[in-house]
Chains A and B, each alone.
Chain A
Amino acid sequence: MQRIGVFVCWCGSNIAGTVDVQAVSEALKTEPGVVFFTNYQYMCSQAGQDIIIDAVKEHNLTGIVVCSCSPRMHEATFRKTAAAAGLNPYMVEIANIREQCSWVHKDMASGTEKAIILGKAAIAKVNLNAPLTPGESPVTKRALVIGGGIAGIQTALDIADAGFPVDIVETKPTIGGKMAQLDKTFPTLDCAACILTPKMVDVAQNDKIRIFSYSEVQEIKGFVGNFDVTIKKKARFVKEEICTGCGACVEKCPMKKIPNEFNLGMDNRRAIYIPFAQAVPKVATIDPSACNMLKNGKCGVCSKVCTAGAIDYTQKDEFINEKYGAIVVATGFNPISMDKFDEYAYNQSKDVITSLEFERLTNAAGPTQGKLLRPSDLEHPHTIVFVQCVGSRCAACAEKGKEYCSKICCMYTAKHAMLVRDKYPDTEVYVFYIDVRTPGKNFDEFYRRAVEEYGVKYIKGMVGKVTPEGNKLKVRASDLIAGKQLNIDADLVVLAVAIEPDKSARPLATMLTASMDTNDFFTEAHPKLRPVESPTAGVFLSGACQGPKDIPETVSQASAAASKVIGLLVKDKLKGNPCIASANELMCNGCSTCANVCPYGAITYIDKEFPMFDRTMQTRRVAQVNPAVCQGCGACTVACMSGAMDLRGFASSQIIAEVDAICR
């Protein structure tokens, strides 16, 4: 029989306001095993914890029940208290009489009644608790960063700086991500390339960092500290280690009309290409869908002009296996498709462009060498209409747009409008908005400058229709403050398109068993207190894969994720969670049901010999749980038809005892 102490917390008035704590502790004193009971204003405080420690020693308690807040809040605290008192930490049970009781009840009578029932359940459970000891697993001291944009770059640099090796996997032929495509950055207007490319070079030169460009994560197995990852290095038909990036092959390639992804299809590249001059690694890549040599064996010009002999038309995809202790997801974002937004005529006119396309049009390395010319006739546009919230904050159009605010558009649109007025003062610039949202250091000042110093015409209201006619775009919009309809003949319309997570994020989340929200943004372990960790141990989040973010915020999160990774990699061993499943081999019939439901791949089967009644030995197949992989979710215990699977700390017998106590 256990000797149980019951400690009822008031949580100030949080619990005591709706629950008669005195009555609760009195009611619980007669429960089986209870030898001590008390209540106190703040059980989690030092004084409260001392009450527990003293009671354990004085009354030789073997089990502790704390009636307080959610175990998510203070279970760890009271487990430490138990350990300090010399008890096994897993001999503590929490009855949640705050979130699940006092906060949801209005009157004292029902609140108190429920608190007593919850207390009885916890006591019934702790009666069956047994000491548990967490296992240990080693930590592979290497990190994987998935995505080579500014988020991935910053995370990798910080981890490498702490002395740990890092690999970056990037699907594109170069790292740099979206930031490499930007012209200037708000609110200081420094050129994106000038602040990004040195960091890209740092990555390339850092001997702790390996870049797997033009590569994808194929498979992820394992668990925190011991991830086993297969990386697919796509064939680029150029030997990366030999290519000097001289560009002779690109110059001579006869296939000249391939839409250039880096400039969003606004100009062309060759079939063999280097995405941009500052690419890292600066290595050519052959696009197999465009290359004549690869398609029908006729050409081979690049191989003839390459003095380094780097071209290899026979190159195959390569698969690399590596072990990692931690994984950082930095898969970033993309603008949403404009196919369903025909009211803006994006697919009908070349002169309706997205903001990202506008970045390329104003970028000195862009298709117009930085001169702002409209795509249809390369004339200078004199009237430009910017439309914000295209597909964002669009609860009514959820099937084509997004309900959330994309966060970055207000600021980059103010930047675009300001830059146009600065470079071309003869241009009329309109910005249509629902709200202007500019929280952030020096952000609102920046927007005010666009309005007050640069004379950008901000109009509250949305554009309803864009109609191409002749060489004009007829823009019909509402001015909500003046209460009238506006008709503007524009030369260029720029859409601040909603952003969404990269398409690779969803399959990656499945591989990682990391959770996502309905918009496919990765979910953080706690939205306020653990914002850079995924709920899956050892998986961390960096940048826009977790939610829309600007560059300053992305870099902060990237460094935060790096510091979490470093905190993990400095450990030699990790303590596991002892509340894991185990199979009763005498009852297991090896049916595989549990392995099929296990989301972590923690269950394997072994053939084992068992003595029979007639003193012979029989070999049977039985389930075996890998304690380092099992997360204790309990799916197998529910699925097991012979009742052989049980969860330590949450045994079926314990749960039945709780239910019995509640129903008694």
Chain B
Amino acid sequence: MKVSYFPGCTLKNKAKILDVYARRCAEVLGVTLEEIDNWQCCGGVFTSKDEPGSKLSSVRALKFAFEKSQPLVSVCSACHNVLKQTNHLMQSDEAFCTKVNRYMAEDSAYDGSTQVYHYLELLRDVVGFDKIREAVVNPLKGRKIAPYYGCLLLRPSSVMQMDDPENPTIFEDLLRALGAEVVVSSMRNECCGGYVTMEKPEFAKKKSLDITSNMQAMGADMIATACPLCKYNLDKNSDAIPTVYFTELLAEALGVKEECDNA
């Protein structure tokens, strides 16, 4: 199966490994990620709908996938959030949709009908966790891993519709499929401090520390995340336990990590 893939800027720089592992693992699981031509930055943060200009790159990516009749997949939580929310606006806000299409002035209009998946959803809903469990060659046995969602994957829940925003399970279910021992912390859906880390580093430090210390206290050796910004904040503000990308764990379990690292 082929899907359109939107990597995002960070995955080309600081978070290269998130991208590399994601592509290779998808291949192992029978999914080809086709990178969108000439994609541009998603905008980084989803701002108000009064700024259609900041949504154009997302709409172009969505339209690209639509024209290929493929779902659009991204790994970065922030990119996914912007893509999904923009797509929702295209579906539900006629005025916005018209404005954006006029602005783009392309041959055909886009109406929001692309299916937008986060990589985790791709694994759950398209591949299936049972299939992943079968594909695991190197189970993460005895590893105590705390999944960390942050905010962007889950909220606003009415739009993201990935999982229950207060009691999500998709991340836990994946890690269990990989054979890990999952540590469930109630801080898993709290904010890491996000971009506030630029202006008020002390604030972000407190937010991140609350999360890492709780996960450590709950017995975790390691935190798994999907978001480069979350990883940045958690790594920077706490040396208690390491934070890794979930794709790295997936690659390890599927037995392709070394191959990726050497490539």
Decide: B186 and A345 in contact? CB cutoff 8 A: yes
12 interchain pairs, CB-CB under 8 A? A339-B167, A342-B164, A343-B166, A343-B186, A347-B167, A348-B184, A465-B190, A467-B185, A467-B210, A469-B218, A470-B217, A474-B214
Question: Chain B residues with Cβ under 8 A from A448's Cβ?
Answer: none
A341 at the interface (CB under 8 A from B): yes
The contact string, 1 if C-beta is below 8 Å from chain A, for chain B 150-188, is 000000000000001011000000000000000011110
Say how far A324's CB is from chain B's closest CB, in angstroms: 45
| Whole-angstrom distance between the Cβ of A479 and the nearest chain B Cβ | 18
- Of all chain A residues, which has the CB nearest B190? A465
Is A466 in the interface zone, CB < 8 Å from B? yes
Chain A residue numbers with a CB within 8 Å of B218 are 468-469
Asked if B186 contacts A340 (CB within 8 A), the reply is no
Closest to A345 in B: B186
- Provide the B187-226 mask, 1 if CB < 8 A to any CB of A, else 0: 1001000000000000000000010011001100000000
Tell me how far the C-beta of B193 lies from the nearest C-beta in chain A, rounded to whole angstroms.
14
> In the assembled complex, which residues on chain A have CB atoms less than 8 Å from the CB atom of B184?
348
- Contact partners of B185 in chain A: CB under 8 A: 467
Of A339, A341, A342, A469, which contacts B217 at CB under 8 A? Answer: A469
Q: Which residues of A contact B214 (CB under 8 A)?
A: 467, 469, 474
User: Are A341 and B166 touching (Cβ within 8 A)?
Assistant: yes
Binding site for B on A (CB under 8 A): 339-343, 345, 347-348, 465-470, 474
Chain A residues with Cβ under 8 A from B187's Cβ? 467
Question: What 1/0 mask marks residues of chain B from 126 to 148 whose CB sits below 8 Å from any chain A CB?
Answer: 00000000000000000000000
- Give the interface size class of chain B: 10 to 19
- Give the residue name and chain of the B residue nearest to A468 (CB): B186
Residue of B nearest to A467 (CB): B186
A340-B164, A340-B166, A341-B166 as given contacts; A465 in contact with B186, CB under 8 Å: yes
Contacts of B217 in A (CB 8 A): 469-470
B187: nearest chain-A partner, CB-CB: A467
Nearest 10 CB-CB pairings of A with B: A342-B167, A342-B166, A467-B186, A469-B217, A345-B186, A469-B214, A343-B166, A470-B217, A467-B187, A348-B186
CA of A474 to CA of B206, assembled, Å: 14
Cα of A341 to Cα of B184 in the assembled complex, Å: 15
Which of A345, A468, A469 has the largest count of B CB atoms less than 10 A from its CB?
Answer: A469
Interface centre among B166, B185, B213 (most CB of A within 10 A): B166
A393 to B186: give the CA distance in the assembly, Å: 24
Q: CB-nearest residue of chain B relative to A473? A: B186
The docked-state distance in angstroms from the alpha carbon of A469 to that of B166 is: 18
A interface footprint on B208-252 (CB within 8 Å = 1, 0 otherwise): 001001100110000000000000000000000000000000000
B164 / chain A contacts, CB cutoff of 8 Å: 340, 342
Distance of A469 Cα from B186 Cα, bound (Å): 9
A180 to chain B, nearest CB (A): 32
- Most chain-A CB neighbours within 10 Å: which of B184, B213, B217? B217
Which of B186, B190, B214, B218 has the most CB atoms of chain A within a 10 A radius of its CB? Answer: B186
Closest to B184 in A: A348
Question: Complex Cα distance A339/B187, Å?
Answer: 17
Closest Cβ neighbor of A470 among chain B residues: B217
